[in-house]
């Protein structure tokens, strides 16, 4: 799973406005609607699926990372968005630390293995401290995308 293939500059928010997790999730979903990756009519259903998953257990996995995700009948392929918050967001993370990097993704409901592989690839990618440092210092959506592209190329 090449994370760079899931993102475009239009699917990246270099500085989120949100102050907490529910606002952040909605901000990224709004971005994906605006980018034409999710239909506006499907937004409530996608938000409900993400909220249901998030209420099961926070997707704030620690190290300033959150990976909100859900399965939905509203998409036919994996759809992802990335948001960065330099100030950090309250996300009820496992380590109780603020979240700075959010990778949100939605997978077609019938693709369980794809869901697991995507989640594992994102977690592995962001587990690298150097990647997090590069994402933190990137100046624009295009620069953030380059971090994903360059790192994916290296394996």
Q: Which tens digit of pLDDT belongs to each residue from 4-38?
A: 889 999 999 999 999 999 999 999 999 999 999 99
At 99, the pLDDT band (50, 70, 90 cuts) reads: very high
- Active-site residue (options: 21, 69, 100, 132): 69
Q: What is the pLDDT of residues 103-124, one digit of tens each?
A: 999 999 999 899 999 999 999 9
Residue 84, strand partner residues: 101
Mean pLDDT of the 114-142 span? 93
pLDDT at res. 63: 93
CA gap 32, 28 in Å, rounded: 6
Give me Rg for the CA atoms of the chain.
14
Decide if pLDDT at 155 tops 70: no
Q: What is the pTM of this model?
A: 0.94
CA gap 155, 152 in Å, rounded: 5
- Dihedral of the alpha carbons of 117, 25, 80, 8, in degrees to the nearest 10: -150
pLDDT at res. 101: 97
Instruction: Look at the block and give the residue holding tokens 């475009």.
Output: 8
69 is a catalytic site residue: yes
Pairing of strands 79-89, 99-108: antiparallel
Tell me the angle at which helices 141-154 and 112-126 cross, rounded to the nearest 10 degrees.
Answer: 100
At 152, the pLDDT band (50, 70, 90 cuts) reads: low
Is 47 in contact with 32 (CB distance < 8 Å)? no
CA angle 103, 85, 12 (to 5 degrees): 45
At 3, the pLDDT band (50, 70, 90 cuts) reads: confident
CA gap 83, 64 in Å, rounded: 12
- Yes or no: is domain 3-154 CATH 1.20.1260.10? no
Is 105 in contact with 69 (CB distance < 8 Å)? yes
CA gap 66, 59 in Å, rounded: 5
pLDDT at res. 150: 86
Q: What is the pLDDT of residues 61-97, one digit of tens each?
A: 999 999 999 999 999 999 999 999 999 999 999 999 9
pLDDT at res. 153: 58
Domain ranges of the chain: 3-154
Decide if pLDDT at 132 tops 90: yes
């Amino acid at each position: 799973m090449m994370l760079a293939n899931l993102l475009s500059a239009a699917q990246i928010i270099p500085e989120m406005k949100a102050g907490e997790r529910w606002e952040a999730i909605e901000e990224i979903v709004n971005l994906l609607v605006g980018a034409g990756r999710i239909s506006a009519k499907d937004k409530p259903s996608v938000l409900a699926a993400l909220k249901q998953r998030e209420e099961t257990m926070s997707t704030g996995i620690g190290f300033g990372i959150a990976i909100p995700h859900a399965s939905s009948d509203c998409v036919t392929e994996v759809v992802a968005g990335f948001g960065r918050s330099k100030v950090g967001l309250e996300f009820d993370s496992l380590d109780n630390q603020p979240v700075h990097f959010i990778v949100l993704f939605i997978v077609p409901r019938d693709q369980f293995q794809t869901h697991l592989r995507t989640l594992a690839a994102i977690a592995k990618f962001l587990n690298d401290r150097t990647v997090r440092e590069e994402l933190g210092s990137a100046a624009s959506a295009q620069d953030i995308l380059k971090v994903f592209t360059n790192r994916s190329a290296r394996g």
